[in-house]
Chain A
């Protein structure tokens, strides 16, 4: 379970660019693998890059998409799980 104050750090070897308003591309410079993110994934990634906490990211999703609090958390968890499996985010840290 992701604590509300958890901050996830993108792997330092990742570079990112938007393709358009609905999609973006992440490239891992070490593995040379690239990943595509859909619109919601792109928004979450941009908030992660800004160093936002899980709670702030959920708030960002609530502000931008027609989702409820209950829907946003599983969405974020599933996304973070995939990111962690691919080694795209560093081990979590907690803000003091």
Chain B
């Protein structure tokens, strides 16, 4: 596996981005506060800073830091804009959190165990304050066996299915204000870290939302989930700084989380590279402190570094990925599939489906009653074998005649 396609990188960060990275860190120490003070004396493009913060879902964190550390160095109009955003965000978060509690009550009344995660749960458990993070939708994980029943329940309670993927479906309520992402798996198949519902449920912890105890992922499962999310979106416009802040905040909020043990667990699940990559990216961007053995492990796998640098550059370049970027993203996605079976998986699915899944022609060639349709899975490979043998034979015959 090679490194990603070479790019000419601009390694210097704009002062606005540097300021943003200092402000979103929950542990602003004296050195960082001084750096923020220095950066605030530079001629800043405030419109760009505010736009970038909003794009990355970190306006509440930026607002808090600027108001706390150096409010007199920030133009009053900017402080007011930030504060307005923080207030409306807090009100929206309260609204969505209340809706989440209603949905959980509905599921409970129908005997459906559900684990909410991301959104309000991350905000409350990591930041200790529902106002400190932007979120727009509600993510819920249910057991595979309850997935269809839960979809039906949502539909009969005023939610409309708007999107459906292999591992999740999206519902919107009648007012258009509430979006629910219902998951039957937490990670897509292309990013293979098999987290089974039963095990996640066994390890679940409780967080309090608006005075109500709510089950959610353990910190260990949250770390794995974040690592997969960051890896999945790396290099694309979907990766937000807020996600990387969540990872850093998780390690800060749970200082006893054994990162070395977590790396071993991730390796067993085929996600060691995803974990190393996401931790390394958070370390690189936010200066998140890391244990020595993790740093050693990162040094032992220097191949990750160019991918981290690529993701870092892509995060703030503000443009859609070009052909080179897309190539790098593809290389990166191949790179994070550590095990042979994971590397083969996307191809396996594509080809197995092409060979065995019956199509219109198979049904037309051999019409079968409904109860015998399983036979098509044998008929199709035979038909394809005949078809391509014939083609080969004709080509061979053609060559001979010429």
Contact = CB atoms under 8 A, between A and B. Distances in A.
Interface string B53-93: 00000001000100110000000000000010011101101
A17 B90 contact: yes
Interface range, A side? 10 to 19
Interface stretch (A28-36, A53-61, A71-79): A28-36
Interface string A28-50: 01001010100000000000000
Contacts of A15: 94, 97-98, 210
Given A15-B210, A20-B64, A25-B131, A36 B94 contact: no
B238 interface: no
Contacts of A11: none
A89 interface: no
Nearest to A14: B94
Interface in B89-127: 90-91, 93-95, 97-98
Contact of A32 (B64, B95, B131): B95
A17 B94 contact: yes
A23 B68 CA distance: 12
B264 to A, nearest CB: 38
B129 interface: yes
Contacts of B251: none
B226 interface: no
Contacts, number: 44
Q: Of residues A16, A19, A29, A34, which shows the largest number of chain B Cβ atoms within 10 Å of its Cβ?
A: A19
B130 interface: yes
Nearest to A21: B68
Nearest to A19: B131
A14 to B, nearest CB: 9
Contact of A29 (B60, B68, B86, B98): B98
A17 B130 CA distance: 6
A19 B98 contact: no
Interface range, B side? 10 to 19
A29 B91 contact: no
A93 B68 CA distance: 39
Interface in B104-161: 129-131
Nearest to A27: B94
Contact of B95 (A18, A22, A29, A36): A29
B98 A36 contact: no
A17 B91 CA distance: 9
Contacts of B91: 25, 27, 34
A19 B94 contact: no
B67 A36 contact: no
A34 B91 CA distance: 6
B131 A18 contact: yes
Contact of A25 (B64, B68, B87, B98): B87
Contacts of B97: 15
B87 A19 contact: yes
B383 to A, nearest CB: 60
B87 A36 contact: yes
A25 B86 CA distance: 10
30 contacts: A15-B94, A15-B97, A15-B98, A15-B210, A16-B94, A17-B90, A17-B129, A17-B130, A18-B129, A18-B131, A19-B86, A19-B129, A19-B131, A20-B64, A20-B68, A21-B68, A23-B87, A25-B87, A25-B94, A25-B131, A27-B91, A27-B94, A27-B95, A29-B98, A32-B95, A34-B87, A34-B88, A34-B91, A34-B94, A36-B87
Interface of B: 60, 64, 67-68, 83, 86-88, 90-91, 93-95, 97-98, 129-131, 210
Interface of A: 15-23, 25, 27, 29, 32, 34, 36
Given A19-B87, A20-B67, A23-B83, 16 more contacts: A15-B210, A17-B129, A17-B131, A18-B129, A18-B131, A19-B129, A20-B64, A20-B68, A23-B87, A25-B90, A29-B95, A29-B98, A34-B88, A34-B90, A34-B91, A36-B87
